[in-house]
Amino acid sequence: MAQLGDLVRAKALLRRAARAFGPKEAVARARCVVADAEIALVSRDLGWPVKALEAARATLEQHGDLVNAAHARYLEVRRLLLIGRIDEAELTLAELDPAPFPPASRTAHELVVAGIAMRRLRTKAARSALARARRAALQARIPALTAEVESACLVLNTPAARLIASGEERPLLLEEVEALLASKAFVVDACRHIVRDGRKVVSLAKRPVLFALARALGEAWPGDVPRDTLVARAFGSKHADESHRARLRVEVGRLRAVIRTLADVTATTRGFALRPRGAREVVVLARPVEVDDEHAAVLAFLADGESWSSSALALALGTSQRTVQRALESLAAAGRVQWFSRGRARRWMTPPVLGFTTTLLLPAPLPID
């Protein structure tokens, strides 16, 4: 039923099966919990009880079902990745050795390794993991697994950002982003709202006005930016008066103080200019497609093509569910997201529903005794 896309029916059947197994059939019940957690993960219902999955994994380990116990561990790691807890995901994954497992489990392992490597901007490690995942998926002979590996490979071959430098733009692949951030260039990173010079990093994520100024100055480098343009970029005002200019001077002073170890902001006849201290060039790293910054984080999660609940998005974003709901309603009114179902079952996504694309297979069949 899950492969056909009827996830609600699939979950109901699994839970009925779990209740039907008696106390002496702990392994079978644990396998049902693992399968239920996988459906919840794919449907982006991230609020499922993690402790129940941990208990199921412990039961499987105690009874010698190490393959399905490892599968449960992979589900835990994938959930951690989805909600941005990369360090925890990496530590959890380090406890597993995929060598003794069947091809399907090895594929899942390498996909998680690749996912962590991509988020760490380690593209060489990601490509190696995906190559191993492709070989394991071919051995497993599960078309859905092969499709998932190919989908992951597209991430490395699709523009991940845009480079803006000296008035020109060009797309960057993920490995090019990695090389840029490892260089000595002064980078205004509009993906993470930071500025950096080699290994020095200054976050402006909680100071949007300062970041808007830094980005405007970075895009204009080596030239300057008129004061009225900076007022419009930082404050959203089309007409600058003396109060705006006074506020601009204050904010420029704050920006100078924050990035003083990386660059200086100098006054010119018509405005301000950025002068890096150690870097030879200044570039801006922007998203591949500009979206409304107010809802950019929500759209970024929905871009994976899966359907998300508002509660799962709130968990992943670390914000309130009501805040996410307001953002989704605004995006829906603009025609940028879609929803289906109602009430607690409502899910949000950007493209049309295309069906189930992950494995949704336990590594071994459930025994019927």
Comparing 303 with 148, the larger pLDDT belongs to: 148
Whether residue 138 has pLDDT greater than 90: yes
Whether residue 363 has pLDDT greater than 90: no
Percentage, residues of the chain above pLDDT 70: 91
pLDDT for position 273: 95
Question: What's the rounded mean pLDDT across residues 166-176?
Answer: 91
pLDDT for position 230: 93
Q: What angle do the packed helices 103-119 and 143-156 form, to 10 degrees?
A: 20
pLDDT for position 291: 60
Query: CB–CB of 112/149 below 8 Å?
Result: no
Question: What's the rounded mean pLDDT across residues 197-220?
Answer: 91
Comparing 297 with 208, the larger pLDDT belongs to: 208
Question: What's the rounded mean pLDDT across residues 300-311?
Answer: 73
* pLDDT tens profile 74-83: 999 988 888 8
Side chain identity at 104, as an amino acid letter? Answer: A
Question: What's the rounded mean pLDDT across residues 104-122?
Answer: 91
- DSSP-assigned beta bridge partners for residue 338: 349
pLDDT for position 194: 92
Percentage, residues of the chain above pLDDT 90: 43
Q: How many CB atoms lie within 10 A of CB 51?
A: 7
Question: Which letter, b or e, does each residue of 104-132 get, where b requires 16 or more Cβ atoms within 10 Å of its Cβ?
Answer: bbbbbbbbbbbbbbbeebbbeebbebbeb
Q: How far apart are CA 35 and CA 217, in angstroms?
A: 52
Question: What's the rounded mean pLDDT across residues 235-260?
Answer: 89
Whether residue 369 has pLDDT greater than 50: no
Under the banding of pLDDT at 50, 70 and 90, the label for residue 8 is confident
Comparing 3 with 173, the larger pLDDT belongs to: 173
Q: Which fold has domain 161-286?
A: Arc Repressor Mutant, subunit A (1.10.10)
Q: How far apart are CA 301 and CA 369, in angstroms?
A: 42
Query: CB–CB of 317/307 below 8 Å?
Result: no
pLDDT for position 357: 29
Beta strands in 96-241, from DSSP E residues, in sequence order: 161-165, 168-172, 186-189, 194-197, 200-203, 224-226
Question: What's the rounded mean pLDDT across residues 211-216?
Answer: 95
pLDDT for position 304: 60
* pLDDT tens profile 315-357: 877 788 888 888 888 888 877 777 766 777 677 777 433 332 2
CATH number of 7-156: 1.25.40
Whether residue 362 has pLDDT greater than 60: no
Under the banding of pLDDT at 50, 70 and 90, the label for residue 265 is very high
Comparing 309 with 147, the larger pLDDT belongs to: 147
Residues of the chain with CATH 1.10.10.10: 161-286, 295-349
pLDDT for position 306: 67
* pLDDT tens profile 179-194: 999 998 999 998 888 9
Whether residue 228 has pLDDT greater than 70: yes
CATH number of 295-349: 1.10.10.10
Average pLDDT of the chain is: 84
pLDDT for position 290: 67
- For the record, the structure tokens of 328 come out as 């989704």
The pairing of strands 271-276 and 263-267 is antiparallel
- Indicate the range of 45-49, 167-171, 226-230, 240-244 predicted with least confidence: 45-49
* pLDDT tens profile 266-287: 999 999 999 999 888 999 999 8
Residues of the chain with CATH 1.25.40: 7-156
Question: What's the rounded mean pLDDT across residues 230-240?
Answer: 84
Q: Which pTM was predicted? A: 0.75
